[in-house]
Amino acid sequence: MKILGIETSCDETAVALIEGKNGRVRELESLVASQIDIHAATGGVVPEIAAREHVSAIIPLVSTLLGQWTRRPKIDAIAVTAGPGLFSSLMVGVETAKALALAWNVPLVRVNHIEGHLYSSSINEAKTIKFPALALIVSGGHTELILMKGHGAYRLVGRTKDDAAGEAFDKTAQMMGLGYPGGPAVAKAALSGDPRAYALPRPMLNEKNFDFSFSGLKTAVLYTIRNKHLAVEDPQIAADLSASTQTAIVDVLVEKTIRAAKKFKIKTFLLGGGVAANDALRAALAARFKKDLPQVGQLVPQKKYTTDNAVMIAAAGYFHAAKKDFISPLKIKADPNWELV
């Protein structure tokens, strides 16, 4: 089964073609038009600008993607991100998918962006997901633990009460003038830093639930800089503070994940979201699962699938299409607040 994926939830215009078979997903082709340089000037995404960029990029991307074959491949379904995200950006992808589905008489699947991140770890994997499975989705806007009892059967078991982990990374980078996007900048600086240099809190680490909170950590970083009069322009000070912040975030994410994995007796662990590219997080999770739960299979996405992309949307779409979970092109709508569970 071949699925065309379309993703325009924020500032990446992305299209992809995947092949799904027997519960496995293989990328055939993927294209992304990034807007990161455009939004770097403002230190964040400007919705109106993002939408205009999507409009100019989406059709050329689809044409280029499909034009690489001598004959256009038979597409069994189109999968599009319908939410959550920026409304104006989502609209571009949804309306494009709707038009293509009607023109080509191809079934249409609406995909939740978070669900895409959930399935990103299964792309090009020989292993299949065994249930129950637990997914840690961690990005600039989301930090969630999702229990999967089957494809499409989700239960939210933990989430951030305020800011997401990625937000803490971004704001920490901003305080130190490390640039945008902040997560990779902090991770790079942390490589030469001492994670024990500054005593930062591990929010909600000892509470008997699977929820998170990172707003207090951001505040602690701010007060550490102010109260200690830190010269954050000093590369070593920035490195030490980056390492201390990163370790605080990773400690909480790993501990909560392992507790949830034990409670729900999972068979597979999935990692997804932009922060899933963080090497310290990946290493810490691998070490803890090996130590505490060696029987649990781990599916960790290739780094190119941790940022927004259409391959993961097509992958999630495949599992919907396999169950004939389609939506009429005349009924699909963009929903910027669509929650997976």
User: Does the pLDDT value for residue 42 go beyond 80?
Assistant: no
User: Which residues share a beta bridge with 15?
Assistant: 6, 31
DSSP string, 124-155: T-SS---SSEEEEEESSS-EEEEEEEETTEEE
Distance, CA of 267 to CA of 248 (rounded, Å): 27
Is 111 within a domain?
yes
Q: How many CB atoms lie within 10 A of CB 152?
A: 13
pLDDT value at residue 233:
96
Distance, CA of 79 to CA of 314 (rounded, Å): 5
Which residue reads 């690489």 in tokens?
68
List the domain range (segments joined by +) for residue 101. Answer: 2-124+304-322
Q: Which residue has the higher pLDDT, 40 or 73?
A: 73
User: Does the pLDDT value for residue 43 go beyond 80?
Assistant: no
Q: Could you tell me if 116 and 179 lie in one domain?
A: no
pLDDT tens column, 169-210: 999 999 999 987 899 999 999 999 999 999 999 999 999 999
User: Does the pLDDT value for residue 41 go beyond 70?
Assistant: no
Is 331 within a domain?
no
Is 275 within a domain?
yes
pLDDT tens column, 272-312: 999 999 999 999 999 999 999 999 999 999 999 999 999 99
Q: Could you tell me if 95 and 180 lie in one domain?
A: no
Is 283 within a domain?
yes
Q: Could you tell me if 291 and 310 lie in one domain?
A: no
Distance, CA of 8 to CA of 119 (rounded, Å): 17
Tally of domains within the chain = 2
Q: Could you tell me if 67 and 10 lie in one domain?
A: yes
Q: Could you tell me if 283 and 201 lie in one domain?
A: yes
Whether the Cβ atoms of residue 118 and residue 139 lie closer than 8 Å to each other: no
Helix 182-190 and helix 279-292, axial crossing angle in degrees, nearest 10:
70
Q: Could you tell me if 198 and 253 lie in one domain?
A: yes
pLDDT tens column, 232-282: 999 999 999 999 999 999 999 999 999 999 999 999 999 999 999 999 999
Distance, CA of 113 to CA of 83 (rounded, Å): 6
Q: Could you tell me if 37 and 170 lie in one domain?
A: no
pLDDT value at residue 141:
85
Is 25 within a domain?
yes
Return all residues near 43 (Cβ < 8 A) that are at least 6 apart: 174, 180
Task: Report the mean per-residue pLDDT for the chain.
Answer: 95
Distance, CA of 145 to CA of 33 (rounded, Å): 30
Domain of residue 64, CATH code: 3.30.420.40
Tokens describing residue 218: 């951001």
Distance, CA of 117 to CA of 264 (rounded, Å): 21
Is 245 within a domain?
yes
pLDDT value at residue 73:
85
Q: Could you tell me if 153 and 295 lie in one domain?
A: yes
pLDDT value at residue 341:
87
Whether the Cβ atoms of residue 220 and residue 212 lie closer than 8 Å to each other: no
pLDDT tens column, 146-170: 999 999 999 999 999 999 999 999 9
Return all residues near 224 (Cβ < 8 A) that are at least 6 apart: 198, 200, 230, 241
| % of the chain at pLDDT higher than 70 | 98
Whether the Cβ atoms of residue 167 and residue 174 lie closer than 8 Å to each other: no
Residue positions counted in the chain: 341
Pick from 269, 225, 329: nearest CA to 130: 269
Q: What's the DSSP call for residue 34?
A: E
